[in-house]
Amino acid sequence: MAEKNIMTRAGLLKTEEELEYLKVYKRKEISQKLKEARAQGDLSENAEYDAAMDEQRDVEARIEELEKLLKNVEVVDSDEVDTNTISIGCKVLVHFLEEHADIEMTIVGSTEASSRQMKISNESPVGKALMGKKIGDEVQVETPAGTMTYRVVEIQKAG
């Protein structure tokens, strides 16, 4: 049995939009590039043709990856998120004790994780440590930089 890919509703919509874009628009764009490159004649030394073929391979691989991901998706509905304890779909405010700083992060499935957007995977060290915690709980996380201690300040449904 395939492993479930846990996603929020927003993550599912974003993934479906990307798949639609790749299938409908990107494929047409690449097809046009290939057509134009073929019209130039000799394909053996045609850089535009090689680039378009590489791009086509990448796009088809990404389409396959997204379709596989969506085939085994399990959506966490924000209506069902319990804000008493941290779970996937929660926006969490934690106080980072060592740095005396507050950090806001959203707990998501691994396929949605993005450190730039502070979307933390439930499978990451920090995500794992926070899962199931309540406001006021402290967690210690072992990282390459040493032990980090966080105190849960606030739990909300991710919007």
Q: pLDDT digits over 69-88, tens only? A: 889 888 877 667 778 899 88
Determine how many CB atoms are found less than 10 A away from the CB of residue 134: 11
Q: Give dist(CA 84, CA 74) in Å, integer.
A: 22
User: What pLDDT, on a 0 to 100 scale, did the predictor assign at position 133?
Assistant: 93
- The answer on 119 and 61 residing in a single domain is no
Q: Return the sign of the alpha-carbon dihedral for residues 22, 1, 128, 108.
A: positive
User: Is 0.85 surpassed by the pTM of this model?
Assistant: no
Domain span including residue 131: 78-157
Q: Is 78 exposed, middle or buried (0-12, 13-18, 19+ CB in 10 A)?
A: middle
Residue 147's closest CA among 98, 86, 93? 98
Query: Which of 42, 76, 110 is at the close of a domain?
Result: 76
**Distance between CA 103 and CA 95 in Å, rounded?**
6
pLDDT recorded at residue 94: 93
pLDDT of residue 2: 57
Let me know whether 89 and 51 are in one domain. Answer: no
Same-domain status, 71 and 83:
no
Instruction: Read off φ and ψ for residue 98, nearest 5 degrees.
Output: -65, -35
Segments in the chain below pLDDT 50: none
148 and 106, same structural domain?
yes
Q: What is the sign of the dihedral through the CA atoms of 78, 154, 103 and 85? A: negative
pLDDT at 129: 92
